[in-house]
A and B are shown apart, each in its own frame.
Chain A
Amino acid sequence: MILLAENGVKAIQLREKDLSAAELLKIAKKVISSAAKYKTNIIINDRLDIALLSKAGGVHSPANGISINDIRKLSNIFLTGKSVHSVSEANKAEKEGYDYLMFGPVYRTPAKVKFGKPQGLENLKLLCSKVKIPVFAVGGINPKRIKKCLAAGAYGVASIREFMQTKNARKTISEFMKELPGD
């Protein structure tokens, strides 16, 4: 994960449903202190307590995750993200005050096959036109697909598989970064 921060990745979301809270907290603290010198936001998936204790940059709320109202009870400064799968969910999340949205799966991805057909670029475009907050495209994203997502109105992209399964993480990151606009 530090490799990601070192090489200019803007946000890292820590998501680990199979780890115990104790282990997750340990990892979060380690990643956040090591990444402090980079301009990378470390976002914790769903666990507000771990986000607070590890001094993360924010909390991401997955489907059926913690709500922004509950997040705001404990932090006014956290960046808050929400996973959405439709325009109505996106509108609702924007109205509730989330800072950014994650929309997908845009492309087919093994992790989400069980949820049916991917959303496609058309739905991404439609959704981006309906909200003002940044939308990150997720699901089957690779460097070749980034331009299309940005053209559809996405603010950025998120990827799991491409970073986790690559043999050369630095190369993969630089391929992603080349396709994304700079600061």
Chain B
Amino acid sequence: MKRIGKICIITDTVIQKKYSHFEIAKLAIKGGADIIQLRDKSISTSELIETAKKIAILCRKNSVLFLVNDRVDVAIVSGADGVHLGQEDIPIKDARKLLGRNRIIGGTAHSMKEAVQCEKDGADYIGYGHIYRTLSKHKPDKPKRTENLKKIVAKISIPVFAIGGISPKNINEVVQTYVHGAAFIGSVLKSIDPVKTIKELRKKMYAIK
């Protein structure tokens, strides 16, 4: 069984310019993140691989799970623990052929249908959202709120991560759904003290069993 923790930090250098991917990874580890997901759709492949290799080493040293968004090839050659795949990325079944059973594959779901499909296709966890309004990504659809999250958590057997607009202010409501974990971008990276914010989120997330 692959051990998947509860706190995932996504490295985003579009919504903020203060920290690089590697700096975010260091802050995330310091704050107690369980998973770091490298996400950059605009840099070149060689830059992405170089960054991924550095973060992979850092994560291994600290026993933190390291996932690469979208690029299955980059995940493998950099020695990451797995990938996170959106609906527009390589299908989970195809990714599994390249990654084997031991690497982790996460899938994004925006509906019950997509969530069920991800689980069926062999995902190790799903990211479901966006739960609240968020500026990290352009979202045409409405926030799912915790009402829908509860339904997903009840139906899906693999770990579910809530994503989208989750912050120290609303995380208690998210935790009440018994969701496995949560992923964070803006609330952490745009806070005055990201390490402190992660610590606070972690404490609240792990308060419930």
A-B contact pairs, 7 of them (CB 8 A): A23-B88, A46-B45, A49-B71, A53-B90, A64-B46, A70-B49, A74-B76
- A47 and B47 in contact, given A22-B91, A53-B97 (Cβ under 8 angstroms): no
- Residues in A with CB closer than 8 Å to B94 are 25, 53
Query: In this assembly, does A50 line the interface, its C-beta being within 8 Å of a C-beta of chain B?
Result: yes
Chain A: interface secondary structure?
helix
Query: In this assembly, does A20 line the interface, its C-beta being within 8 Å of a C-beta of chain B?
Result: yes
- A21 and B70 in contact, given A52-B98, A73-B76 (Cβ under 8 angstroms): yes
Partner of B73, one of A20, A49, A64: A49
Distance, CA A64 to CA B49, complexed state (A) = 10
Distance, CA A48 to CA B88, complexed state (A) = 17
Let me know if B49 and A66 touch, CB within 8 A.
yes
How far in angstroms is the closest Cβ of chain B from A22? 5
Distance, CA A20 to CA B45, complexed state (A) = 15
Let me know if B88 and A47 touch, CB within 8 A.
no
Query: In this assembly, does B192 line the interface, its C-beta being within 8 Å of a C-beta of chain A?
Result: no
Interface mask (A52-63 → B, CB under 8 Å = 1, otherwise 0): 110000000001
- Residues in B with CB closer than 8 Å to A46 are 45
Interface mask (B71-100 → A, CB under 8 Å = 1, otherwise 0): 111001100000000011111001101100
Distance, CA A65 to CA B89, complexed state (A) = 19
- A21 and B88 in contact, given A73-B76, A74-B73, A74-B77 (Cβ under 8 angstroms): yes
How far in angstroms is the closest Cβ of chain A from B108? 12
Size category of the A interface is 20 to 34
How far in angstroms is the closest Cβ of chain A from B78? 9
- Residues in B with CB closer than 8 Å to A65 are 44-46
Distance, CA A64 to CA B43, complexed state (A) = 9
Let me know if A49 and B46 touch, CB within 8 A.
no
Interface mask (A12-53 → B, CB under 8 Å = 1, otherwise 0): 000000001111010000000000000000000011111011
Distance, CA A20 to CA B46, complexed state (A) = 19
Which residue on chain B has the smallest CB distance to residue A29?
A: B94
Which residue on chain B has the smallest CB distance to residue A67?
A: B46
Distance, CA A48 to CA B90, complexed state (A) = 12
Distance, CA A21 to CA B71, complexed state (A) = 9
Distance, CA A30 to CA B90, complexed state (A) = 15
Distance, CA A49 to CA B72, complexed state (A) = 6
Closest 6 CB pairs of A and B: A64-B44, A20-B88, A48-B73, A49-B73, A49-B72, A70-B77
How far in angstroms is the closest Cβ of chain B from A82? 12
Let me know if B90 and A66 touch, CB within 8 A.
no
Complex interface residues of chain A between 71 and 86 (CB less than 8 A to chain B):
73-74
Distance, CA A25 to CA B94, complexed state (A) = 10
Distance, CA A52 to CA B90, complexed state (A) = 12
Interface mask (B172-187 → A, CB under 8 Å = 1, otherwise 0): 0000000000000000
Partner of B45, one of A25, A66, A74: A66
Which residue on chain B has the smallest CB distance to residue A46?
A: B45
Let me know if B89 and A66 touch, CB within 8 A.
no
Let me know if A22 and B88 touch, CB within 8 A.
yes
Distance, CA A52 to CA B94, complexed state (A) = 10
Partner of A53, one of B49, B77, B88, B98: B98
Let me know if B44 and A21 touch, CB within 8 A.
no
Partner of A50, one of B47, B77, B90: B90
Let me know if A64 and B47 touch, CB within 8 A.
yes
